[in-house]
Amino acid sequence: MKLRNIAIIAHVDHGKTTLVDKLLQQAGSFRENQRVAERVMDSNDLEKERGITILAKVTSVVWQDTRVNIVDTPGHADFGGEVERILSMVDGVIVLVDAAEGPMPQTKFVVGKALKLGLRPIVAINKVDRPDARITEVVNEVFDLFAALDANDDQLDFPILYGSGRNGWMADAPDGAQDGMAPLFDLVLKHVPEPKVEEGEFRMLGTLLESNPYLGRLITGRVFSGSIKPNQNVKVLDNDGKVVETGRVSKILAFRGIERTPIDVAEAGDIVAIAGLTKFNVADTLCVPEVTEALHAQPIDPPTLSMTFLVNDSPLAGTEGDKVTSRVIRDRLMKEAEGNVALRISDSPQADSFIVEGRGELQLAILIETMRREGFELGISRPRVVFRQDEATGERLEPIEEVIVDVDEEHSGVVIQKMSERKADMLEMRPSGGNRLRLVFHAPTRGLIGYQGELMTDTKGTAIMNRLFHAYSPWKGELAGRRNGVLLSNDAGESVAYAMWNLEDRGPMMIEPGWKVYQGMIIGQHTRENDLEVNVLRGKKLTNIRAAGKDEAVRLTPPIRMTLEKALAYIENDELVEVTPKSIRLRKTKLDPNERKRAERSKELVD
């Protein structure tokens, strides 16, 4: 059967996964009476909850005697490592662009990678039925983007389709005949070339890694040359051509709709999943024993943010999770790094702690959330940027991000002020329709840590911020940290409503009555700059005298709700987030007040 391999790339929320749903329906992958979940490719619990794609996934459909392998990719910049890898598997890309928002930072990032590989894109303008759609301007913006990314003449001569992924149609014109997804399928068959098949014996490049409870390690990749059958002897080569392991293929699975089906032979050009090898990893080459040269894997952009993962040493350690030792945490992190090439794990100089480097706060927060659901307890430090040194001048360099903020005109002033406080340079300010402005900045990554929540508050929830790594540039200087101190518990026990009510004038609380607390745990935000130790355990002194009006119920102000991302952004360098399967607590790194004072004194002496 003839083959086509395509990837759908776009910015987050531009409708990739919904489009794949409609392509599967149109191609008859589901029975007429089959009940299908919305965004069927988002299989992970966190993907369903957050409405974003985290892991790239492969599916396939048959259209006019041609099998089309489709790869659904993440749209968030933090998961760009997934997209960079899968581009080596495909021969064409569908660039999906929102008819109102136009090309956004992640679109720019992945399109740049695709154009460098020589892929010829198809542009699909999605959501043309939006009331604020600006179709002609968006098409011009896409052309300008391709030109700015040094596209060649063939790539600039891209075909365009217009449609609505949710309503399941694509057409040659915005007001064209709504004939389902057939125009998109026909264009893929006409525009995307057949997979190039190299000469020689069987070779396959590993691209996606997952673990299957029955088959063990499963690696998905594209067969570049030759063919393979189950029970055939193979070997694994790393990037340098060294043999990692030898073994036998136990099963070959091909993608058939949303199911995976065992097949008897995998031919060159197809995308398949292979089981039976224990050390076969992402970016490794699987080949027959006679082959000595590995396939070239695309280099991945380096991480820009790091966090320290520590063994939880709080007084409540081990009461809510069952995976608490450094060995178990280390094994889990190393396993994660195998499949996620955008992560780097290293041992920290401190005992029982590990440095985890990644692309952004969301990527690391997703990893922490996944681990806590698996029963891990962890202490997490404040995110820090990964600095570099200029080899020529020895100057310290820091990561700079391109930030695009879409905001109502009335709130633009406060956004510009806050971004300038974070050492950001404004590059552009232009209207984007409907009394909204689009602001473009270059800002240091460390200035953006924790800004999302503040932006939502400043703009009454109306702003949309998108960020993308731009480059490393000279250090921009010190940034102002958190302005408020924190309220700390001075003893261990359960918080009491009466004590919390008496402390309300000191600042808003982050805990509720009846919660377990310990010495050094952060229970609220102080109204002033300094940290303050308070007693939340003191109950009301009872007497045998009854007086009218003395026994009213205590009414407390609702506490600040700390999500994982909010907590990571809130803490300072001397604080940690304690993450367990049931709780997210904030605490000082050193729980003993005397130890904290000694550490502060020694820091002052060093300064």
- CA–CA separation, 305 and 385 (whole Å): 4
Q: What is the dihedral of CA 148, 154, 155, 159, to 10 degrees?
A: 120
Task: Check whether 270 has a pLDDT greater than 60.
Answer: yes
Fold: same for 2-191 and 388-474: no
The answer to whether 255 and 271 are in contact (CB under 8 A) is: yes
The pTM (predicted TM-score) of the whole model is: 0.82
| Section 197-223 average pLDDT | 86
Determine whether the annotation assigns residue 18 to a binding site: yes
**Arithmetic mean of pLDDT over the chain:** 85
Tens-place pLDDT, residues 455-469: 888 888 888 888 888
Which of the 8 DSSP states describes residue 482? -
| Section 493-522 average pLDDT | 92
Residue for token pair 């958190």: 482
Dmax of the chain from CA atoms? 96
The residues with which 216 forms a beta bridge, in sequence order, are 212
Determine whether the annotation assigns residue 470 to a binding site: no
- CA–CA separation, 578 and 591 (whole Å): 13
- Which carries the bigger pLDDT value, residue 20 or residue 128? 128
3-state secondary structure of 505: helix
Determine whether the annotation assigns residue 126 to a binding site: yes
Task: Check whether 233 has a pLDDT greater than 60.
Answer: yes
Confidence band for 33, pLDDT divided at 50, 70 and 90: very low
What CATH superfamily classification does 2-191 receive? P-loop containing nucleotide triphosphate hydrolases (3.40.50.300)
Give the pairing of strands 396-408 and 388-389.
Answer: antiparallel
**Which class is 486-541+554-606 in CATH?**
mainly beta
Determine whether the annotation assigns residue 62 to a binding site: no
Tens-place pLDDT, residues 534-565: 999 988 777 666 655 555 567 888 898 888 88
- CA–CA separation, 410 and 117 (whole Å): 43
- CA–CA separation, 308 and 341 (whole Å): 18
What do you get for the CA distance between the two ends of the chain, in Å?
71
Per-residue model confidence (pLDDT) at position 44: 61
Computed on alpha carbons and rounded to an integer, the radius of gyration of the chain in Å comes to 27
Tokens of 476: 């921009």
Instruction: Write down the domain spans for the chain.
Output: 2-191, 203-287, 388-474, 486-541+554-606
Tokens of 317: 């350690």
The answer to whether 521 and 488 are in contact (CB under 8 A) is: yes
- For the ranges 197-206, 227-236, 448-457, the lowest mean pLDDT is seen at 448-457
Amino acid at position 596, single letter: R
Determine whether the annotation assigns residue 129 to a binding site: yes
Tell me: domain 203-287, CATH 2.40.30.10, correct? yes
Determine whether the annotation assigns residue 582 to a binding site: no
Determine whether the annotation assigns residue 242 to a binding site: no
Could you please state the CATH topology (level 3) that the domain comprising 388-474 is classified under.
Answer: Alpha-Beta Plaits (3.30.70)
Determine whether the annotation assigns residue 15 to a binding site: yes
Per-residue buried b or exposed e for 366-399, using 16+ beta carbons within 10 Å of the residue's own CB = bbbbbbbeeebbbbbbbbbbbeeeeeeeeeeebb
